[in-house]
Structure 1
Amino acid sequence: MPLFAGLDIGTTHTKLIVCDPAINILFQAKKGYTKGFGDTLDCAEILEAVRTLLKKAAETGVFTGQELVVTFSTAMHSLVLLNEAAEPQTPLYTWADTSSQPVVRELENDPLVQQLFFETGTPFHPMSPLCKLAWMKRSSPKLLAGAFKATGIKEFIWYQVTGRWEADHSIASATGLFSQKTMHWHPDAMEIAGLRLDQLAAPVPVTHIVSASPTGFAAACSLPETTRWVIGGSDGVLAQLGSGALAKGVAALTIGTSGAIRVTIPDFTVDRNRELFTYHLDQEHSVSGGAINNGGIVLQWWQRQVMELPDDLPTALEKFTTSAASVIPGCDGLVCLPWFGGERAPVWDAEATGIFAGVKNTHGQSHFKRSIIEGICFSFRVLLEKLEAAHGPVREVYASGGFTGSKWWVQVMADILERPLVIRDDADASALGAVAVGMKAVGMIRRWEDFPALSDDRGEVYHPEVQTKNTYFRNYERFLRLCQL
């Protein structure tokens, strides 16, 4: 029986988990990045992080005498231009890059652009590769025209492993360039982006499997030559799968640097108000939801820029929440609209700014910190209500990501959403979702519901504490007025 590895390539670090077929975690580790910051990253550093983690796992002996299946999860919306030798000609631009905002302002009301949303499921926003490419078409036309490939980090890594230029349907569906109706690159989107078809990777299902690594990648990582490689999907849809949020009435919520809340739907259906995204998992499952720019990164911003404390995110989370928890719910009327890095759903405005309202001379650092936490939770309450309007009631929410390291924050989220929050375990939901895809690719499961991790105990459940409702929702009404929603 094979072992299964799930590699989740994010915007702050890459994480690896290794499981047996019963989903017992045999190894897990992560490696952060030092090059780039937020809106740009370095492809070579990410590739080296993948190699390092696989080698580190191999050195433990966990793979000795075992078959191995490795599946990838990656962050959405990344873009890099490559030459024929697969050498980056640009930085790796992430979802946080907003350099294309001028072209977004220029084209966002174009009827063709608006119609593309209903075929691609991706909002027209600087996060998307479509907008980044449309900007390059204007600002760097020779660079774009001369590029051999325009890809994301998944395609770059996959080429290093397999020697093939392929893009999984899940990642492709988040580019703004891919028609989820035809399951091919959309010609109108390609025209807007200034791309030729040969500059894009060939779309393949998330379960697409390659039985060997002709590039020598497996040997370089000290892995068995018989290692099988599965292309996998995006971190968003795989977090949905890894959290077990497949059933109707169940949402998955993730907060790391940014954040998102999503539900699984049975087919490709888009939000008529164009406030929510719809991304692809497989022919029977799509994922609809909203992403926010301002998750854990707001805590880092406050600690570094306001408090002038150079903390990493886990340290910032602990110090920040301990201080915030010392203040009563509602922060004595202080309300935060945490759009400090622009905002995605539901406003899709890269130029949005943050607000503190109701400030009094009795408020101190702890009040501001708690108002930030409550503001992030209020943002998710807005998105939850929009998800319910589009897809029906949500009875419970499965939570994952770095914020689950604070039980206090999870409880505040449960109180504000007025829904039970379920924390399954310590495994990364996206990496665990990648493992599920690997198991399906090799035929060990036929349906996602057969994934062994989803039949485990429910995990820790945080129920809403109703006595805080009135205090929170006076501020929530103020929050909605600040949003002008």
Structure 2
Amino acid sequence: MQAYILGIDIGTGSTKAVAISLTGEALGTVSEHYPINSPEPGYSEQDPKLIWDAFVKCLSGITAKLGAPQAVGLSSAMHSIIPVNDAGDALYPMITWADARSENIAQALRATEKGASLYHNCGTAIHPMSPLSKLLWLKDNESEIFNAAHKFISIKEYIWFKLFGVFEVDYSIASATGMFDIVAKQWSNEALDLIGIPASKLSQPVNTTYYRANVNQSVVLTTGIATQTPFVAGASDGACANLGSHTTGEGIAALTIGTSGAVRITHSKPFYNYEAMVFNYLLDEQTFVCGGAVNNGGIALNWLLKNFLKKENPGSADYNALFAEIAAVPAGSEGLIFLPYLYGERAPLWDTKTSGTFFNVKPAHTRSHFLRAGLEGICFALNDVLKTLEDASGEITQVNISGGFTSSAVWTQVLADITGKKLAVLQSEDSSAMGAIYLAARVIHPQSYEQLTKVEHQQIIQPSENNHAVYSRMFPVFKKLYADLKDTMHLVDGWE
């Protein structure tokens, strides 16, 4: 069988495995989905066992077709936390990045000098998404679980322990916890003292190119993986996406839209902006991925489909109909503006009490205008992050885009017109898995790395000057709307 490297991306809603030959040929993909639970308002939990089962099914699905890979690289969503016992069993449901129960704790910490110091040392926003805030909440509200935990780990560490029986975490996932000194590359004593735990309660940090073989025999028997197959620790999904979308040079940003969205650049040093909370995560020992994530990406578009088009479980035909309707409306939706903050917002607002808002509604506005304004609002929010990064790092001339949205010519054109940037599609939907493959190739098959990372072709979307002029007039109004409405949003937060 053909030699290949496998990249597995452990996402919030699904796990996806992508197989690429040593010469860069796509050989196959397998994905498995799992639910997110919300037992109380603001809670976002998952069963880590279901994610492990999905991981096993993805691994088995690929090996059944292609045999064992030459290496496996791992990518994972950030900010999850699971209290486990010494056998690696979860003592509590996994708390995901979207969980907001520690909002009051994060808000109070952010207003202190301690919060600013932790941000500058650890590179992670002081926000309820952060495992730092989650652990402080667990300590105050689930003390028995907190005290009984042998370790506090992420979903990637949970899977790594299932594979090898050891607690280890890559620098990239560690750098997204709010508890890891991103310069010294060790757990932060300042963060640990605040939580009241020793470093032994956390996993051993390792570089993103660190690897192990000798997979547990139970895994070999259930997946068809070879015992000596090396598994490379890899990085977070965001860091992997930058590598996978070939966004590692100056003047280039990566923009990804899935359920949420993010804009990121790579640099040899971190960029700090405490107000906008620019994140600084590690890709490897020498490389930082700096940027900001938004809550309202594809999930906001699905809200439009559900509430304006009455599509509970939209398929490709529904999305095509939506984009066709949007395309019929001129740029700017004839003055209608949408703040897309339906699910609170991260960068650059860091405000869980925001809400969605349509502004400047006129009698002439139809359903189609509301749909287009909704899509434009999502893109305005991402442009807000892009401008923040550009102010910190210098001019950005190209944005490499990835995620399922790249299949929509309407969405990508709206994004190009709003940002005024040349967009490039180099790796459409699997950039995180591809980044994990590149990291694995770098250490296991360095002779194949150059061929694998070679850009054979790219799709370019150029902005329309006329449309960009329209959006440039609207963008300052978009930003001012949040500033003007913030206090009112907070006042009505929680109203039913």
TM-score (norm 2): 0.92
Letter aligned with residue 140 of structure 2: R
Tell me what 1:54 maps to. Answer: 59
Tell me what 2:487 maps to. Answer: none
Shift of 1:313: 7.2
Distance (whole Å) between structure 1 residues aligned to residue 428 and residue 178 of structure 2? 33
Q: Which deviates more from structure 2 when the two are superposed, residues 299-308 or residues 272-281? A: 299-308
Shift of 1:194: 3.4
Distance (whole Å) between structure 2 residues aligned to residue 133 and residue 266 of structure 1? 30
Distance (whole Å) between structure 2 residues aligned to residue 345 and residue 39 of structure 1? 19
- Say whether 1:452 aligns with 2:451: yes
* Percent identity for Structure 1 against Structure 2: 34
Q: 1:388 to 1:318 in 2, by over 3 A?
A: same
Q: What SS class does the counterpart of residue 282 from structure 1 fall into?
A: coil
Tell me what 2:252 maps to. Answer: 250
Tell me what 1:396 maps to. Answer: 398
Listed as ranges, the matches of 1:171-250 within 5 Å are: 171-250=173-252
- Say whether 1:21 aligns with 2:22: yes
Q: What SS class does the counterpart of residue 15 from structure 2 fall into?
A: strand
Tell me what 2:389 maps to. Answer: 387
Q: 1:380 to 1:53 in 2, by over 3 A?
A: same
Q: 1:162 to 1:301 in 2, by over 3 A?
A: same
1:139-182 superposed Cα distances (whole Å, 9 cap, x missing partner): 11221111111111010001001111001000000000101121
Letter aligned with residue 461 of structure 2: Y
Listed as ranges, the matches of 1:418-437 within 5 Å are: 418-426=420-428, 428-437=430-439
Tell me what 2:493 maps to. Answer: none
Q: Is the 8 A contact 1:317 1:403 kept in 2?
A: no
- Say whether 1:464 aligns with 2:466: no
1:459-480 superposed Cα distances (whole Å, 9 cap, x missing partner): 1100111121222223222202
Listed as ranges, the matches of 1:79-478 within 5 Å are: 79-271=81-273, 273-305=275-307, 307-312=309-314, 317-426=319-428, 428-444=430-446, 451-478=450-477
Q: Is the 8 A contact 2:438 2:453 kept in 1?
A: no
Q: Which deviates more from structure 2 when the two are superposed, residues 421-430 or residues 5-14? A: 421-430
1:440-461 superposed Cα distances (whole Å, 9 cap, x missing partner): 1215159xxx543432234110
Q: Is the 8 A contact 1:117 1:274 kept in 2?
A: no
Shift of 1:402: 1.5
Q: Is the 8 A contact 1:422 1:458 kept in 2?
A: no
Letter aligned with residue 21 of structure 1: L
Q: Is the 8 A contact 1:161 1:218 kept in 2?
A: no
Distance (whole Å) between structure 1 residues aligned to residue 402 and residue 347 of structure 2? 19
Letter aligned with residue 25 of structure 1: A
Distance (whole Å) between structure 1 residues aligned to residue 441 and residue 429 of structure 2? 17
Distance (whole Å) between structure 1 residues aligned to residue 281 and residue 163 of structure 2? 25
Q: What SS class does the counterpart of residue 387 from structure 2 fall into?
A: helix
Distance (whole Å) between structure 1 residues aligned to residue 436 and residue 315 of structure 2? 24
| Stretches of structure 2 lacking an aligned partner (at least 5 in a row) | 485-496
Distance (whole Å) between structure 1 residues aligned to residue 372 and residue 319 of structure 2? 12
1:388-434 superposed Cα distances (whole Å, 9 cap, x missing partner): 11111111010001211211100111111111111114450000000
Q: 1:366 to 1:231 in 2, by over 3 A?
A: same
Distance (whole Å) between structure 1 residues aligned to residue 239 and residue 316 of structure 2? 24
Listed as ranges, the matches of 1:7-46 within 5 Å are: 7-34=8-35, 36=37, 39-46=44-51
Q: Is the 8 A contact 2:276 2:350 kept in 1?
A: no
1:24-75 superposed Cα distances (whole Å, 9 cap, x missing partner): 1111121111353692222111111111111111221x12xx6520111000
Q: Is the 8 A contact 2:404 2:429 kept in 1?
A: no
1:360-390 superposed Cα distances (whole Å, 9 cap, x missing partner): 2322222111111111111122111111111
Distance (whole Å) between structure 2 residues aligned to residue 91 and residue 307 of structure 1? 34
Shift of 1:192: 2.3
Distance (whole Å) between structure 1 residues aligned to residue 338 and residue 409 of structure 2? 21
Distance (whole Å) between structure 1 residues aligned to residue 200 and residue 321 of structure 2? 50
Q: Which deviates more from structure 2 when the two are superposed, residues 316-325 or residues 221-230? A: 316-325
Tell me what 2:4 maps to. Answer: 3
Q: 1:195 to 1:304 in 2, by over 3 A?
A: farther
Distance (whole Å) between structure 1 residues aligned to residue 480 and residue 36 of structure 2? 39
Letter aligned with residue 197 of structure 1: A
Distance (whole Å) between structure 1 residues aligned to residue 170 and residue 468 of structure 2? 43
CA RMSD of aligned residues (A): 1.9
Letter aligned with residue 460 of structure 2: V
Q: Is the 8 A contact 1:145 1:195 kept in 2?
A: no
Distance (whole Å) between structure 1 residues aligned to residue 201 and residue 431 of structure 2? 32
Q: 1:225 to 1:8 in 2, by over 3 A?
A: same
Letter aligned with residue 133 of structure 1: L
- The number of equivalent residue pairs is 479
Q: What SS class does the counterpart of residue 216 from structure 2 fall into?
A: coil
Tell me what 2:492 maps to. Answer: none
Letter aligned with residue 304 of structure 1: K
Q: Which deviates more from structure 2 when the two are superposed, residues 343-352 or residues 303-312? A: 303-312
Q: 1:364 to 1:453 in 2, by over 3 A?
A: farther
Q: What SS class does the counterpart of residue 302 from structure 1 fall into?
A: helix
Q: What SS class does the counterpart of residue 299 from structure 2 fall into?
A: helix
Q: What SS class does the counterpart of residue 227 from structure 1 fall into?
A: coil
Distance (whole Å) between structure 2 residues aligned to residue 35 and residue 110 of structure 1? 33
Q: Is the 8 A contact 1:130 1:176 kept in 2?
A: yes
Distance (whole Å) between structure 1 residues aligned to residue 323 and residue 98 of structure 2? 25
Tell me what 1:483 maps to. Answer: 482
